Structure 1
Protein backbone atom coordinates (compact mmCIF):
# COMPACT_ATOMS: atom_id res chain seq x y z
CA UNK A 1 0.00 0.00 0.00
CA UNK A 2 1.25 3.46 -0.88
CA UNK A 3 0.16 7.02 -0.32
CA UNK A 4 -0.11 9.63 -3.08
CA UNK A 5 3.60 10.53 -2.71
CA UNK A 6 4.51 6.88 -3.36
CA UNK A 7 5.62 6.15 0.21
CA UNK A 8 5.13 2.54 1.38
CA UNK A 9 3.07 1.59 4.44
CA UNK A 10 5.20 -0.38 6.93
CA UNK A 11 4.53 -1.67 10.42
CA UNK A 12 7.08 -1.78 13.24
CA UNK A 13 6.95 -5.09 15.14
CA UNK A 14 8.46 -5.15 18.62
CA UNK A 15 9.97 -8.60 17.96
CA UNK A 16 12.15 -7.62 14.96
CA UNK A 17 14.82 -5.06 14.18
CA UNK A 18 13.37 -2.91 11.44
CA UNK A 19 9.99 -2.43 9.86
CA UNK A 20 8.09 -4.83 7.61
CA UNK A 21 5.12 -4.85 5.29
CA UNK A 22 1.83 -5.58 7.06
CA UNK A 23 1.00 -9.26 6.83
CA UNK A 24 1.45 -12.69 8.25
CA UNK A 25 0.78 -16.36 7.77
CA UNK A 26 -2.34 -17.85 6.28
CA UNK A 27 -4.45 -20.25 8.29
CA UNK A 28 -4.87 -23.80 6.92
CA UNK A 29 -6.78 -23.65 3.63
CA UNK A 30 -7.10 -19.85 3.80
CA UNK A 31 -6.55 -18.24 0.39
CA UNK A 32 -3.44 -16.02 0.44
CA UNK A 33 -5.30 -12.86 -0.60
CA UNK A 34 -7.80 -13.29 2.24
CA UNK A 35 -4.99 -13.91 4.73
CA UNK A 36 -3.26 -10.73 3.53
CA UNK A 37 -6.50 -8.73 3.86
CA UNK A 38 -7.13 -10.15 7.33
CA UNK A 39 -3.63 -9.24 8.55
CA UNK A 40 -3.81 -5.79 6.97
CA UNK A 41 -7.07 -5.11 8.79
CA UNK A 42 -5.79 -6.49 12.10
CA UNK A 43 -2.58 -4.42 11.92
CA UNK A 44 -3.87 -1.15 10.44
CA UNK A 45 -7.68 -1.13 10.62
CA UNK A 46 -7.88 -0.89 6.82
CA UNK A 47 -10.39 -3.03 4.91
CA UNK A 48 -9.09 -3.75 1.40
CA UNK A 49 -9.71 -6.36 -1.23
CA UNK A 50 -6.28 -7.61 -2.27
CA UNK A 51 -6.01 -9.53 -5.52
CA UNK A 52 -2.91 -8.48 -7.45
CA UNK A 53 0.45 -9.98 -6.51
CA UNK A 54 3.50 -7.78 -7.06
CA UNK A 55 6.20 -10.23 -5.95
CA UNK A 56 6.74 -13.77 -4.72
CA UNK A 57 9.70 -14.38 -2.42
CA UNK A 58 10.97 -17.77 -1.27
CA UNK A 59 12.99 -17.67 1.95
CA UNK A 60 14.97 -20.81 2.82
CA UNK A 61 14.78 -22.28 6.31
CA UNK A 62 16.86 -20.56 8.94
CA UNK A 63 15.55 -20.06 12.46
CA UNK A 64 12.07 -20.36 10.92
CA UNK A 65 10.68 -22.90 8.49
CA UNK A 66 11.12 -22.12 4.83
CA UNK A 67 8.40 -19.82 3.57
CA UNK A 68 6.87 -18.29 0.50
CA UNK A 69 5.92 -14.63 0.86
CA UNK A 70 3.48 -12.95 -1.49
CA UNK A 71 3.50 -9.16 -1.79
CA UNK A 72 0.02 -7.93 -2.71
CA UNK A 73 -0.78 -4.55 -4.24
CA UNK A 74 -2.77 -2.56 -1.69
CA UNK A 75 -3.16 0.35 -4.09
CA UNK A 76 -2.93 4.01 -3.16
CA UNK A 77 -4.71 5.44 -0.14
CA UNK A 78 -6.09 8.96 0.00
CA UNK A 79 -4.41 11.63 2.07
CA UNK A 80 -5.76 11.60 5.60
CA UNK A 81 -6.57 7.87 5.61
CA UNK A 82 -6.60 6.80 9.25
CA UNK A 83 -4.23 3.97 10.18
CA UNK A 84 -5.33 2.31 13.45
CA UNK A 85 -2.61 0.12 14.95
CA UNK A 86 -3.90 -1.92 17.91
CA UNK A 87 -2.23 -1.54 21.28
CA UNK A 88 1.20 -3.17 21.52
CA UNK A 89 0.09 -5.76 24.10
CA UNK A 90 -2.46 -7.10 21.58
CA UNK A 91 -0.62 -6.67 18.31
CA UNK A 92 3.11 -6.74 19.07
CA UNK A 93 3.39 -3.59 16.94
CA UNK A 94 5.09 -0.37 17.93
CA UNK A 95 3.30 1.54 15.17
CA UNK A 96 2.92 2.03 11.44
CA UNK A 97 3.91 4.76 9.02
CA UNK A 98 4.42 5.53 5.37
CA UNK A 99 8.12 5.37 4.50
CA UNK A 100 9.60 7.04 1.40
CA UNK A 101 11.02 4.48 -1.04
CA UNK A 102 14.53 5.97 -0.78
CA UNK A 103 14.46 5.32 3.00
CA UNK A 104 13.43 1.64 2.78
CA UNK A 105 17.03 0.33 3.10
CA UNK A 106 17.38 2.25 6.39
CA UNK A 107 13.98 1.24 7.76
CA UNK A 108 14.00 -2.48 6.89
CA UNK A 109 16.24 -5.53 7.00
CA UNK A 110 18.10 -5.96 3.67
CA UNK A 111 16.02 -8.91 2.41
CA UNK A 112 12.78 -7.10 3.36
CA UNK A 113 13.86 -3.90 1.58
CA UNK A 114 14.91 -5.90 -1.50
CA UNK A 115 11.51 -7.62 -1.56
CA UNK A 116 9.67 -4.29 -1.49
CA UNK A 117 11.99 -2.68 -4.04
CA UNK A 118 11.45 -5.56 -6.46
CA UNK A 119 7.67 -5.43 -5.89
CA UNK A 120 7.64 -1.72 -6.72
CA UNK A 121 9.68 -2.10 -9.91
CA UNK A 122 6.54 -2.56 -12.01
CA UNK A 123 7.92 -5.38 -14.09
CA UNK A 124 6.43 -8.78 -14.75
CA UNK A 125 5.86 -10.71 -11.55
CA UNK A 126 9.33 -11.60 -10.29
CA UNK A 127 10.17 -14.85 -8.53
CA UNK A 128 12.52 -14.11 -5.65
CA UNK A 129 14.71 -16.32 -3.50
CA UNK A 130 15.19 -14.60 -0.14
CA UNK A 131 14.70 -11.16 -1.65
CA UNK A 132 16.86 -11.71 -4.73
CA UNK A 133 16.23 -12.85 -8.29
CA UNK A 134 17.47 -16.41 -8.84
CA UNK A 135 20.70 -16.70 -10.83
Structure 2
Protein backbone atom coordinates (compact mmCIF):
# COMPACT_ATOMS: atom_id res chain seq x y z
CA UNK A 1 0.00 0.00 0.00
CA UNK A 2 1.44 3.39 -0.96
CA UNK A 3 2.44 5.73 1.83
CA UNK A 4 0.12 8.79 1.49
CA UNK A 5 2.87 11.08 2.76
CA UNK A 6 5.02 10.19 -0.22
CA UNK A 7 2.22 10.63 -2.75
CA UNK A 8 0.61 13.80 -1.36
CA UNK A 9 2.42 16.14 -3.71
CA UNK A 10 4.48 14.48 -6.39
CA UNK A 11 7.63 16.35 -7.42
CA UNK A 12 7.66 17.75 -10.92
CA UNK A 13 10.66 16.48 -12.86
CA UNK A 14 10.57 15.66 -16.54
CA UNK A 15 12.44 12.48 -17.49
CA UNK A 16 14.30 12.76 -20.79
CA UNK A 17 15.22 9.43 -22.38
CA UNK A 18 17.91 9.77 -25.04
CA UNK A 19 19.87 7.29 -27.11
CA UNK A 20 23.48 7.45 -28.29
CA UNK A 21 23.89 5.45 -31.51
CA UNK A 22 27.11 5.41 -33.50
CA UNK A 23 28.05 4.15 -36.93
CA UNK A 24 31.04 1.96 -37.74
CA UNK A 25 33.28 5.07 -38.07
CA UNK A 26 32.24 6.28 -34.61
CA UNK A 27 30.06 9.16 -35.82
CA UNK A 28 27.06 10.04 -33.64
CA UNK A 29 23.44 9.75 -34.80
CA UNK A 30 21.55 13.04 -34.37
CA UNK A 31 18.07 14.30 -35.24
CA UNK A 32 16.86 17.80 -36.07
CA UNK A 33 13.72 18.63 -34.07
CA UNK A 34 11.46 21.47 -35.18
CA UNK A 35 11.10 22.89 -31.66
CA UNK A 36 14.82 23.33 -30.85
CA UNK A 37 17.83 25.02 -32.37
CA UNK A 38 20.52 22.59 -33.43
CA UNK A 39 20.69 18.84 -33.56
CA UNK A 40 20.04 16.51 -30.62
CA UNK A 41 20.30 12.86 -29.71
CA UNK A 42 17.20 10.86 -30.61
CA UNK A 43 14.80 10.55 -27.71
CA UNK A 44 12.21 12.43 -25.72
CA UNK A 45 10.20 12.55 -22.55
CA UNK A 46 8.87 9.49 -20.77
CA UNK A 47 5.14 9.24 -20.20
CA UNK A 48 3.86 8.90 -16.62
CA UNK A 49 4.86 5.46 -15.26
CA UNK A 50 6.69 4.55 -18.48
CA UNK A 51 10.03 2.85 -17.93
CA UNK A 52 12.86 5.08 -19.20
CA UNK A 53 14.41 2.46 -21.49
CA UNK A 54 11.02 1.84 -23.10
CA UNK A 55 10.48 5.58 -23.60
CA UNK A 56 13.92 5.92 -25.19
CA UNK A 57 13.29 2.96 -27.50
CA UNK A 58 9.87 4.32 -28.45
CA UNK A 59 11.27 7.74 -29.37
CA UNK A 60 14.26 6.24 -31.19
CA UNK A 61 11.96 4.14 -33.36
CA UNK A 62 9.59 7.06 -34.05
CA UNK A 63 12.43 9.40 -35.01
CA UNK A 64 14.74 7.04 -36.91
CA UNK A 65 13.05 3.68 -37.52
CA UNK A 66 15.74 1.92 -35.45
CA UNK A 67 14.74 -0.78 -33.00
CA UNK A 68 17.08 -1.21 -30.05
CA UNK A 69 17.05 -3.08 -26.75
CA UNK A 70 18.34 -0.48 -24.30
CA UNK A 71 19.78 -1.80 -21.06
CA UNK A 72 22.72 0.46 -20.16
CA UNK A 73 23.02 4.14 -19.31
CA UNK A 74 26.03 6.16 -20.46
CA UNK A 75 25.25 9.48 -18.77
CA UNK A 76 22.80 11.08 -16.35
CA UNK A 77 22.19 14.80 -16.71
CA UNK A 78 20.13 16.89 -14.25
CA UNK A 79 19.02 20.42 -15.13
CA UNK A 80 17.34 22.84 -12.74
CA UNK A 81 14.18 24.58 -13.86
CA UNK A 82 14.83 27.51 -16.16
CA UNK A 83 12.78 28.07 -19.30
CA UNK A 84 11.87 24.37 -19.05
CA UNK A 85 10.71 22.43 -15.97
CA UNK A 86 13.30 20.65 -13.85
CA UNK A 87 14.51 17.61 -15.77
CA UNK A 88 16.63 14.51 -15.56
CA UNK A 89 18.14 13.17 -18.77
CA UNK A 90 19.30 9.60 -19.23
CA UNK A 91 21.53 8.77 -22.19
CA UNK A 92 21.24 5.12 -23.18
CA UNK A 93 23.80 3.12 -25.13
CA UNK A 94 22.18 2.40 -28.50
CA UNK A 95 25.18 0.55 -29.88
CA UNK A 96 26.46 0.66 -33.45
CA UNK A 97 24.44 0.54 -36.66
CA UNK A 98 25.60 0.00 -40.20
CA UNK A 99 22.54 1.44 -41.93
CA UNK A 100 21.30 4.94 -42.58
CA UNK A 101 18.33 5.64 -40.28
CA UNK A 102 15.31 7.57 -41.51
CA UNK A 103 15.11 11.26 -40.53
CA UNK A 104 18.52 11.38 -38.86
CA UNK A 105 22.16 11.85 -39.76
CA UNK A 106 25.54 10.85 -38.48
CA UNK A 107 27.87 13.61 -37.37
CA UNK A 108 31.60 13.18 -36.70
CA UNK A 109 32.47 13.56 -33.01
CA UNK A 110 34.80 16.50 -33.80
CA UNK A 111 31.80 18.47 -35.19
CA UNK A 112 29.40 17.88 -32.27
CA UNK A 113 30.09 21.33 -30.76
CA UNK A 114 29.32 23.00 -34.09
CA UNK A 115 25.90 21.44 -34.64
CA UNK A 116 24.54 21.13 -31.09
CA UNK A 117 23.68 23.58 -28.33
CA UNK A 118 26.47 23.69 -25.69
CA UNK A 119 24.57 21.70 -23.04
CA UNK A 120 23.56 19.06 -25.61
CA UNK A 121 27.14 18.78 -26.91
CA UNK A 122 28.50 18.43 -23.36
CA UNK A 123 26.02 15.63 -22.66
CA UNK A 124 27.13 13.74 -25.77
CA UNK A 125 30.81 14.28 -25.01
CA UNK A 126 30.38 12.90 -21.51
CA UNK A 127 28.34 9.94 -22.76
CA UNK A 128 31.11 9.10 -25.24
CA UNK A 129 33.73 8.96 -22.48
CA UNK A 130 31.58 7.29 -19.86
CA UNK A 131 31.42 3.70 -18.84
CA UNK A 132 27.99 2.13 -19.26
CA UNK A 133 26.10 1.13 -16.13
CA UNK A 134 23.10 -1.19 -16.15
CA UNK A 135 19.60 0.24 -15.82
CA UNK A 136 17.76 -1.24 -12.85
CA UNK A 137 14.00 -1.37 -12.41
CA UNK A 138 12.97 -2.15 -8.84
CA UNK A 139 16.47 -3.51 -8.21
CA UNK A 140 16.52 -5.83 -11.22
CA UNK A 141 18.31 -5.35 -14.54
CA UNK A 142 16.01 -3.99 -17.23
CA UNK A 143 15.14 -6.59 -19.84
TM interval, short-chain normalised:
0.7 to 0.9
Aligned to 2:33: 13
TM-score with structure 2 setting the length: 0.76
Show the counterpart of 1:90: none
1:28 is the counterpart of 2:48: yes
Alignment partners' CA distance in 2, 1:84 and 1:123: 28
| Cα offset, 1:124, TM superposition | 6.7
Match of 2:123 among 86, 105, 115: 115
Q: Where does structure 2 lack aligned partners over 5 or more consecutive residues?
A: 1-20, 134-143
Report the secondary structure of 1:18's partner residue: coil
Structure with the larger strand share: 2
**2:66 maps to 1:46:** yes
Deviation at 1:25, TM superposition (A): 0.5
3-state DSSP of counterpart to 1:74: strand
Residue 115 of structure 1 deviates from its aligned partner by 0.3
Cα distance in 1 for partners of 2:56, 2:132 equals 21
